[in-house]
Chain A
Amino acid sequence: MEASSRLQKAMTAPSVRKLIAAPEFGPLVLLIVEIVVFSFLTSRRAASDPFFTIFPSFLSATNITNLLSFTPELGMIALGMTLLMTAGEFDLSVGSVFGFAAIVMWTFFNTGATSLEIGFVLAMLISVAIGFVNGWFVTRLRIPSFLVTLGMLLVARGSALYITDGFPQRTWNAGQSVLSAILVGEFSIGEVRIYASLIWFILFTIIMHYVLVHSKAGNWIQASGGNAMAAIARGVKVGRTKVLLFILSAMMSAYAGITSSIRVSAANPNSGDGYELEVIAMVVIGGTALAGGRGSILGTVLGVLILRVMRNGIVMVGVPGLAYKIFIGAIILGMMVLHSSIERRTGNGR
């Protein structure tokens, strides 16, 4: 009885209430539930398999290695998208830029025009240009970002296909380059293999969280998405803020695409297809508002993990991978209900 009253007291302590009311709380619980459920289900199956080979456990080193290889790449795109969406815009061209940037770099390299490093710099510069064009069309010509970035999606994808005639680019001599070591060098912690891309992802996460929450730029980003008119009236450079965020989004996508092409040793002109919707789903699951004004980098990291763990986990427990989309859809809907109910409860009294 004493324990229950103590629990009650703990539940009503301001810090605990704040934690529960935080938009990241729901996603955090969901992620934990996912991990527990998948670990439990797969460990039972693994136990029935004497050689641990056909049904590896969810928490096995192989599987964690697997999970941590691709997650940072999508995650980087999602970080850029989070800031952009907080400012009230979004970017459908991320998947195409993901594929296109890698093609650009490898084409420069394979034709002998430049070293891999120079090719990387050129590909990043092209992504800056793409982001700038997106931002310029949206802020100056006042065309909705849906249309502008849909156009850019097609232009970038089309360019990648045109440059390559639709064929994958050779990538096998990346192994020795400095660039590949910096971007995706491997090392091991115990039996888990870690790519450098995970370190970069964590670094980017910390920087962007700091920027969004503590910096003046973060205040401007939120204000741009929350009430652009009011922000402009206060001298906030809303247009410039948005252009820079479109550039950031394109750069993160290009960086992720190049990282991915080195890691899997393949630069396919079709890679990144459909990532835009998956990334937007991750961002909104994490509590960032589609309409702008409110965003959370930590929420996005949780959103990224929720969807990646879900995709990985349901395959491992034996649900056909094709059913994955049903689960994502259900998660999105569930999380939106949660976020809107929290919003209604905390404020928004009018």
Chain B
Amino acid sequence: MATGELVRMEHIYKNFGSVQALNDVTFTVGHREIVGLVGDNGAGKSTLIKILSGAHPATSGQIYFDGKPVEIKNTWDAIQLGIETIYQDSALVPQLSIARNLFLGREPLTGPKWLQRMDKRFMEEQTRKLLGDLGITKYINPDTPITSLSGGERQSISIARAMFFESRLIILDEPTNNLGVEETHRVLRFIHNARDRGLSCIFITHNIYHVFQVVDRIVVLRRGKKVCEADPKHTNIDDIEKVITGIYDTLPERSAG
């Protein structure tokens, strides 16, 4: 295995009954690399990253993390490795406060052994600090339920949470769904920030124009197969669009460099 790789998924197959969602996909993410995963509806993007985040098992294939073979049987295994997933249908619990969401699953505890409660003071302090770091300028109370935040604020908090717990790989499934232009840019800036702090990221989207602005590498899936990989610096955006929709089978020579 190349030492520069954080994640390597090798020869992944996934069947849902008779539906073959993934067909011999090999997919890698380097250290401090942002990979854009694109493809049409039903191409298998979500399925691929759900295997990586432990939401469901692959039918066959092997995953390496930091060069070592690993078995990811459930989400907890993925979290232990430092893989944080932010799903397209929101990664937050709308009824809970920002502070409770931030520490969900990793609640700091205080008090005597048999009467342990959540350390709410610590949770609120940290949340306040994090909201400051986020550059959310207007004052937001850590007690605020998620329902009263905008879509972009929610996404930013999800990403900030992953950074806070020092994850090594953040997976964003359609993170810019339902976001306005302004908010989308904020999230994209955020992702850049995350990379500068040493994280890797998989960024899934339909909108190839979003991908082009931020990613180091683009991977295209079509009907369960990986059809091409490209470096956006040396690739023509229209060509990729044509690969996604199936007009081209794969990238033409002039782009593939």
Contact = CB atoms under 8 A, between A and B. Distances in A.
A331 B94 CA distance: 28
Nearest to A294: B95
Nearest to A237: B76
A72 to B, nearest CB: 24
Contact of B118 (A214, A226, A235, A350): A214
A294 B93 CA distance: 11
Given A230-B87, A235-B76, A349 B96 contact: no
Interface in A196-219: 210, 214-216, 219
A236 B147 contact: no
Most central of B55, B87, B95, B116 by chain A CB within 10 Å = B95
Residue of B76, B96, B106 ringed by the most chain A CB atoms within 10 A: B96
A229 interface: yes
B79 A231 contact: no
Contacts of B96: 219, 222-223, 226, 293
A227 B90 contact: yes
B90 A219 contact: no
Given A227-B90, A348-B147, A236 B95 contact: no
Contact of B107 (A216, A233, A289): A216
A289 B55 CA distance: 27
B118 A216 contact: yes
Grouping DSSP codes into helix (H, G, I), strand (E, B) and loop, the B interface class, with mixed when no group exceeds half, is loop
Contact of A227 (B85, B94, B145): B94
A229 B173 CA distance: 13
B136 interface: no
A348 B116 CA distance: 32
B117 A219 contact: no
Contacts of A223: 93, 96, 100, 104
A309 B150 CA distance: 43
A222 to B, nearest CB: 6
Nearest to B117: A214
B142 to A, nearest CB: 14
Nearest to B144: A347
Given A223-B96, A233-B53, A347-B148, A215 B118 contact: yes
B89 interface: yes
B204 interface: no
A348 B93 contact: no
Contacts of B70: none
B91 interface: yes
A24 to B, nearest CB: 16
A220 B151 CA distance: 23
Contacts of B188: none
A215 B120 CA distance: 10
Contacts of B55: 232-233
Nearest to A236: B105
A237 to B, nearest CB: 8
A209 to B, nearest CB: 12
Given A223-B93, A230-B93, A347-B147, A216 B53 contact: no
A140 interface: no
Nearest to B92: A230
Nearest to B85: A233
Given A216-B118, A223-B93, A229-B89, A235 B147 contact: no
Nearest to B79: A235
A234 interface: yes
B95 A349 contact: no
Contact of A219 (B79, B104, B151): B104
Interface of B: 53, 55, 75-76, 79, 85, 87, 89-96, 100, 103-107, 109, 116-118, 120, 144-145, 147-148, 150-151
10 contacts: A215-B117, A215-B118, A216-B116, A223-B96, A227-B90, A230-B93, A231-B105, A232-B75, A233-B75, A350-B151
